[in-house]
Amino acid sequence: MERLIVKLGERSYPITIAAGLLNDPASFWPVNRGDNVMLVTNDCIAPLYLDCLSELLIQDGVKVDYVVLPDNEQNKSLTVLDQVFTALLTKPHGRDTTIIALGGGVIGDLAGFAAASYQRGVRFIQVPTTLLAQVDSSVGGKTAVNHPLGKNMIGAFYQPASVIIDLNCLNTLPRRELSSGLAEVIKYGIIFDAAFFDWLENNIDMILALEPQALAYCIRRCCELKADIVAADEREHGQRALLNLGHSYGHAIETHMGYGNWLHGEAVAAGMMMAVRAARRFGQFSDVAAERVSALLLRAGLPVSGPKEMAAEDYLPHMTRDKKVIAGHMRLVLPVMLGKAEVRAGITDDILIASINDC
């Protein structure tokens, strides 16, 4: 068992990583445990884990209710969020309840936003079941829903009480979802840790094969990097923005193509290559490094260019609504070299279009 701490003073919380945690009720309780739980999951995960987890918590003396939401990114909406509020109010649940998010990034974001909003804030626990959620979205307190005009534009920063990562959940993960999660894994190597990028080049095949030791190290290292960044910059005023490498382009793809048609990691992978090409136009990030990134993404089963249905000009309206736009000026996260990135201001439409067309 691995245990890391996200250090945020009174709001610090553990990330626990091991195989079999869904069978251990002690894993689910922070210091101030409650006896009422609302489990939030989706119709893909519920048949796999809902009954066993509910029974486990009931045997531990917990009153358990649940709401099963439709799967898919297109359902990360205010309309579906209202189903969580309705379930909480119908039972009813008070301020002493704990919301448990059992699922991937969509469920984590929805349940976290519900926890941040319900009665002005209740405790919640992240139980991520996808690689993408385990290495990225479950850690750091970003919660949100999508809007037809932009991804994750409505939300709140709200930290969980704990994050419980059961490695066994990845055994039921579809291969496409596993590859999608690897986009966020590779991102950490590009922006923060060149040695980790080297390690990924040597071990990507073992991760795809779900080799336990490689998988455990991969997830732990990503969580270590994410925890350090969140502790230093919880609300993304500085260094945390680097975690958005490829996301400005990627969110444009997801929004334009319709949420769920391109998985988040697929869109981010294409977006990272566009950011690499933009960096090359500024004379940084070598051609050799660019080729290494492209090769690793392809080995992970990820795209290195955007949808053929999207012209470069189709990205611009979505990117101008991006959260990194300040006073009408576009900013992008660009790699400087493997292991280092920057937020660069003054990005013109010409640079954006060229970087998209280059891919």
Q: Would you call 142 a catalytic residue per the annotation?
A: yes
Task: Tell me phi and psi for residue 33, to 5 degrees.
Answer: -75, 150
**The one catalytic residue among 247, 277, 324, 344:** 247
Q: Would you call 237 a catalytic residue per the annotation?
A: no
**The one catalytic residue among 226, 256, 277, 280:** 226
**The one catalytic residue among 142, 151, 318, 344:** 142
**The one catalytic residue among 177, 234, 236, 254:** 236
């980790």: which residue's tokens? 196
**The one catalytic residue among 75, 187, 244, 277:** 244
Q: Would you call 236 a catalytic residue per the annotation?
A: yes
**The one catalytic residue among 177, 184, 234, 266:** 184
Residues 6+ apart with CB under 8 A from 114: 40, 81, 84, 85, 88, 99, 124
Q: Would you call 75 a catalytic residue per the annotation?
A: no
**The one catalytic residue among 93, 187, 221, 251:** 251
d(CA 291, CA 35): 53
**The one catalytic residue among 256, 264, 277, 331:** 264
Task: Tell me phi and psi for residue 128, to 5 degrees.
Answer: -75, 135
354 token code pair: 């060229």
């070299």: which residue's tokens? 337
Give the side-chain half-sphere CA count within 13 A for 251.
Answer: 23
Q: Would you call 251 a catalytic residue per the annotation?
A: yes
Q: What is the CA radius of gyration of the chain?
A: 20
Q: Would you call 244 a catalytic residue per the annotation?
A: yes
Of 130, 22, 16, which Cα lies nearest the Cα of 73? Answer: 130
Report, as residue numbers or ranges, the catalytic residues: 120, 142, 184, 226, 236, 240, 244, 247, 251, 264
